[in-house]
Amino acid sequence: MASVDSLCTLHGSKSECADEINRAANVILNGGIIVYPTDTLYGLGADIFNEDALLRIYDIKGRPNDMALPVLVNGWEMVQSISSEANLIGEKLAARFWPGQLTQVIRANDNLSAILTGGRGTIAVRQPDHWIAQQIIEQVGNPIVGTSANFSGFPDLVEPSSLVDQLGHLVDHIITCGPKPLGLGSTVVDITSGEPAVLRKTSISAEDIQAVLGEMES
């Protein structure tokens, strides 16, 4: 399991953190669980196609199994591997807000495990604006789990020492290279119907989203 010795400096450069990124990607590819920084919060990462790893994340967080796990991608093109539904609204919002702090709830492909989707047939997806997360996704070659690295119902963990203390014995690797997360969750918008619905509003407002949709209509 992860330990303090496995941590890379918070302010490490891309070259200094290359080994940490490689190790994190290999852990995921081999069915393990990592903690990694994104632009919003630290995340628990795993292979979205490995059901054993998905079940471990639910156990680690104490998360109800009917609550789907969000995923992170490296761009709208990768969304097509988890949702074959053509969604012009989603593509437009991604062009404006990705990489960044907007999560979109979309229809999920049938090949995705019900463990990942919580049996709901939808999936929450985002492209993070953090080079550590982006490089991990790139090396894995598929979307990865992007749920927050904390226990369900408890405050978000924003300090590396807290990550090690609370999760170090439960996960396989912790990476804290690069900039720390902002400490604020993403805005979440459901685009599965004709009328996008903002489910959680943080740094991106409903007005920001409506402005983009208005451009589509004009």
CATH code, domain carrying 91: 3.90.870.10
Mean per-residue pLDDT for 154-162?
91
**pLDDT above 80: residue 16:** no
Residue 6's pLDDT is what? 39
User: Is 107 strand, coil or helix?
Assistant: strand
pTM over 0.95: no
Q: Is the pLDDT of residue 142 over 70?
A: yes
Which of residues 87 and 115 earns the better pLDDT score? Answer: 115
CA distance 17 to 149: 20
Neighbours of 198 (CB within 10 A): 16
Q: What is the mean pLDDT of the chain?
A: 91
- Span 63-100, pLDDT tens digits: 999 999 999 999 999 998 999 887 899 999 999 999 99
Q: Which tokens sit at 66?
A: 């009917």
Greater model confidence, 214 or 48: 48
Could you report the per-residue pLDDT of 101-113, keeping only the tens digit for each? Answer: 999 999 999 999 9
Give how many domains the chain has, as a whole number. 1
Per-residue model confidence (pLDDT) at position 177: 75
d(CA 4, CA 122): 37
Q: If you ran DSSP here, which 8-state letter would residue 120 be given?
A: S
- Domain membership of residue 160 as a residue range: 4-217
Is residue 127 predicted with pLDDT exceeding 90?
Answer: yes
